[in-house]
Structure 1
Amino acid sequence: MTVKSKATKTAEKSAGADKLDILIAGAGYVGLASAVAVKHARPNLRVAVVDAAPADAWQKDNRASAIAAAACRMLEQLDVWHRVAPQAQAITEMIITDSRTADPVRPVFLTFDGEVGEGEPFAHMIANRDLNGALRPRAAELGIDIIQGVGVQGFETDGGGITVQLADGASLRSRLLVAADGVRSRLRDLAGIKTVHWDYGQSGIVCTVAHERPHNGRAVEHFLPSGPFAILPLKGNRSSLVWAERTEEAERLVNGDEMIFEAELERRFGLELGEIRVENKPRAWPLGLTLSRSFVAPRVALAGDAAHGIHPIAGQGLNLGFRDVAALAEVIVEADRLGQDIGALDVLERYQQWRRFDTVQMGVTTDVLTRLFSNDSTPLRFARDFGLGLVERLPRLKDFFIRQAAGLSPHTPKLLRGEPI
């Protein structure tokens, strides 16, 4: 006798008597946004999401992310932004400095105005759990089942679809499997897709701090010899920190004495916002570059960190994933409208062609920036400071960079322009 778990029964119910059109592995913001984007445009498609993590795991994520203007437009088009907006903090200004940790003065080399248009900030900061918590009720409204606590064990493809085996014995049939299961994607490996990867020898320390004085929406990125130290504004007198440090030092700081951590933090944070207090336990994440050699395989498409993992130096990780969401949804919806097989390789190749160049370009850009700014070489410091100063004096170039950061580049998918698919 086989005893079926609750997750197994939910999975079988999701598939119904026939099969799913799309099964998405990964209930992070990329997986959920992909499900919502497709179902919002094509209610007839049967979409489900599976995730190996426990049902409440997303509520324990203390990180925050920058959502570019284009991604905000997409969320508004998907009827999600109004759920996020009350918790979102607009970035009204960004300043960049380059100095050593012990320097008494940190000269500002570059400043960016926070708007790409009147009343439209180039980015907002939002806690990951708030973003996830906004996508989940929208998915429920659209009839998308989210199956928590069970992951994908394996799959087999054939001419008509893909049969997916879940870890607890359930079997689902779908036309397309979307892998949004993170930078260490199991599905990517099962699909036989190789990656290009290297490690920077850095870890990103992430935590939230409360401070005495208001930040007024200003984001600050200090380029220090060991890596960038970013102060990103959150609602209230609070900020999210992304602190790149050499891995050995990062591990020592987050696992050591709290007083030592706070002392090192204050040296980097400065006194401009008054007294600071760490709100949650800091965590360290290894930093590297991971680029998938292919974004697709028969009946399988990669999205988000499963397709690419980049350094947070430019704050584009989440936004790169949302570009995948918008492009994949548009390809799937247009193929379905034309009566094409949404899981066929020639259809998925359109998604890959749309996304690969942008992804490789962003990966190379962040790699160059990381190597250029994470050092204490005097010649390199002179060259980069000269370059920052040059951009500061050229308004058109500054405007180009801010629009790129906002995701408002040419050939953007419709959702990122705020248009329906």
Structure 2
Amino acid sequence: MHPPTPDADVLIVGAGPAGLALASALSDAGLTAILLEQQARDTLERPADDGREIALTHRARAVMGTLGLWSQVPAEAVSPLRQAHVLDGESPGLLRFGVSGDEALGWLIANHQIRRAAFRAAMARPGVQLRCAARVTGLDLGGPLARVTLADGQCLNAPLVVAADSRLSQTRRLAGIGASMHDFGRSVVVGPVAHEREHQGVALECFRYGNTLALLPMQGRCSSAVVTVAADRAGEWSALDDAGFAQRIEAQSGGRLGTMRCVGPRQLHPLVGVYAHRFVAPRFALIGDAAVGMHPVTAHGYNFGLYGVEVLVGALKAARGAGRDIGAPDTLQPYEAAHRRTTLPVYLGTNAVVSLFTDERAPARLARKAVLAVAEHAPGLSRLIKGAINRQLTGGPGLALPR
């Protein structure tokens, strides 16, 4: 009996920004891809603004440039991130991050702009097909080709299936791969604010007592206010009228940006961190949030997705060029190893930092003040800590700001 004919080289479950970027990269590498997405095409083509701003590293920008995503984003929708300042409670001191010279630490782009750009880039590729209203109900990885069964009974075959269907991936579960989940018990309330003073490209991360506030610089005298708060208090923040929300943000930022006013709606997102127990199985791989779903405080979510696309497609292209099976374990293991080396230390470190800086008990408050004081004022340790963080933020060499 002959094996079934493959419908594509790779079946990608999920047409979010990571899945779409993967499809583009596969097409550029000479591999065909079918994207399977539950949502309607119109939703993908014109994604709604969910209030989230994505901080992109230098490495992520390079990947987006190579795939043609960067050119799809309007220039006025890109905001340079030049420095980041971290404040603790009511303390007047702060920890500063940045890179030397005029180079940006990163760039901020609205999530819906990235989604739109990723969709346009993927749909321009001849090797990419998109099937909407396609819900995966079955997965068989045991044959010469992987088989995906859809809710309508249709079956598709390919040497490799990649799950890119969110941090709560049903496809990951169908593959028998578990994940460590960290429910922070918190939610994020986001909304744009205009302010009296220039932000000068500086992001503020204010670890308050009771909530965390981030102000992410946008174009003009505007910032995205990101409030992380215990889930049972999120409704209180969402219920504030525009004046009340702006006044609270102004007060919690210490008036650094002057008088504030709301310039858009607020939205609510729950916080759950996810790290898959494995990133690969025979004829199967995880990408994007299905592999690693990060707490947003270090802004690594989509960056890690793009890094994963770069490494995975590099491994698949090398295997195809050598005449090897792209779904074989020895093809996929290098991706597993490389992506885990990149992501696991940051995932664990981020969760530890978040746990420390959201702990309201007196010992934790003292500990976080000590961490910030040592990191800012001990020259050798300061350079070490800031350099490591800058390398993660920029994807390249990290240099602490001069004292």
SS of alignment partner, residue 320 of structure 2: helix
**Residue 186 of structure 1: how far off its partner (Å):** 0.8
| Distance across 2 between alignment mates of 1:132 and 1:149 | 18
2:63 counterpart of 1:74: yes
Q: CA RMSD in A?
A: 2.3
Q: Which residue of 2 aligns with 1:218?
A: 202
TM-score, length-normalised on structure 2?
0.88
Is the 8 Å Cα contact of residues 206 and 282 (structure 1) preserved in structure 2?
yes
1:54/1:409 Cα in 2 relative to 1: closer, same or farther (>3 Å)? farther
Is the 8 Å Cα contact of residues 227 and 375 (structure 1) preserved in structure 2?
no
Is the 8 Å Cα contact of residues 228 and 313 (structure 1) preserved in structure 2?
no
| Distance across 2 between alignment mates of 1:147 and 1:237 | 41
**Residue 409 of structure 1: how far off its partner (Å):** 7.1
1:90 maps to amino acid: P
| Distance across 1 between alignment mates of 2:247 and 2:40 | 36
1:396 maps to amino acid: R
1:401 maps to amino acid: I
SS of alignment partner, residue 20 of structure 1: coil
1:284 maps to amino acid: L
Residue pairs, 1:364-383, within 5 angstroms: 364-383=348-367
2:123 counterpart of 1:140: yes
**Residue 308 of structure 1: how far off its partner (Å):** 1.8
Q: Which residue of 2 aligns with 1:418?
A: none
Residue pairs, 1:324-403, within 5 angstroms: 324-393=308-377, 394=379, 396-397=383-384, 398-403=386-391
2:81 counterpart of 1:98: no
> Once the two structures are superposed, what CA deviation does each residue of 1:81-138 show, in whole Å capped at 9, x if it has no partner?
2223612111111111111xxx4xx52321122x36x554221000111112222222
| Distance across 1 between alignment mates of 2:103 and 2:133 | 39
Q: Which residue of 1 aligns with 2:15?
A: 27
1:38 maps to amino acid: L
| Distance across 1 between alignment mates of 2:284 and 2:103 | 36
| Distance across 2 between alignment mates of 1:18 and 1:301 | 17
| Distance across 2 between alignment mates of 1:74 and 1:120 | 18
2:392 maps to amino acid: Q
1:47 maps to amino acid: A
More deviation, 386-395/203-212: 386-395
| Distance across 1 between alignment mates of 2:239 and 2:328 | 48
1:255/1:297 Cα in 2 relative to 1: closer, same or farther (>3 Å)? farther
Equivalent residue for 1:157, pick from 141, 144, 152: 141
Residue pairs, 1:175-194, within 5 angstroms: 175-194=159-178
2:65 maps to amino acid: E
Equivalent residue for 1:60, pick from 48, 54, 65: 48
| Distance across 2 between alignment mates of 1:226 and 1:299 | 46
1:185/1:402 Cα in 2 relative to 1: closer, same or farther (>3 Å)? same
More deviation, 129-138/255-264: 255-264
More deviation, 240-249/76-85: 76-85
Is the 8 Å Cα contact of residues 69 and 120 (structure 1) preserved in structure 2?
no
> Once the two structures are superposed, what CA deviation does each residue of 1:291-337 show, in whole Å capped at 9, x if it has no partner?
11111223211111111222222222221222211111111111111
| Distance across 2 between alignment mates of 1:344 and 1:287 | 35
Is the 8 Å Cα contact of residues 82 and 103 (structure 2) preserved in structure 1?
no
2:104 counterpart of 1:121: yes
Is the 8 Å Cα contact of residues 22 and 309 (structure 2) preserved in structure 1?
yes
**Residue 51 of structure 1: how far off its partner (Å):** 1.3
**Residue 183 of structure 1: how far off its partner (Å):** 0.9
Instruction: Report percent identity of matched pairs.
Output: 33
| Distance across 2 between alignment mates of 1:206 and 1:109 | 23
2:383 maps to amino acid: R
**Residue 260 of structure 1: how far off its partner (Å):** 4.8
Q: Which residue of 2 aligns with 1:88?
A: 78
SS of alignment partner, residue 325 of structure 2: coil
TM-score, length-normalised on structure 1?
0.84
**Residue 139 of structure 1: how far off its partner (Å):** 1.4
Residue pairs, 1:182-331, within 5 angstroms: 182-255=166-239, 260-331=244-315
Is the 8 Å Cα contact of residues 313 and 369 (structure 1) preserved in structure 2?
no
2:35 maps to amino acid: V
1:60 maps to amino acid: A
Q: Which residue of 2 aligns with 1:4?
A: none
What is the number of residues matched between the two proteins?
A: 385
**Residue 52 of structure 1: how far off its partner (Å):** 0.9
SS of alignment partner, residue 332 of structure 2: helix
| Distance across 2 between alignment mates of 1:191 and 1:400 | 35
1:343/1:402 Cα in 2 relative to 1: closer, same or farther (>3 Å)? same
| Distance across 1 between alignment mates of 2:351 and 2:161 | 30
Q: Which residue of 2 aligns with 1:417?
A: none
SS of alignment partner, residue 272 of structure 2: strand
**Residue 261 of structure 1: how far off its partner (Å):** 4.1
| Distance across 1 between alignment mates of 2:393 and 2:222 | 23
Gaps of 5+ in 2: 399-403
Q: Which residue of 2 aligns with 1:109?
A: 94
Gaps of 5+ in 1: 1-16, 411-421
| Distance across 1 between alignment mates of 2:300 and 2:130 | 27
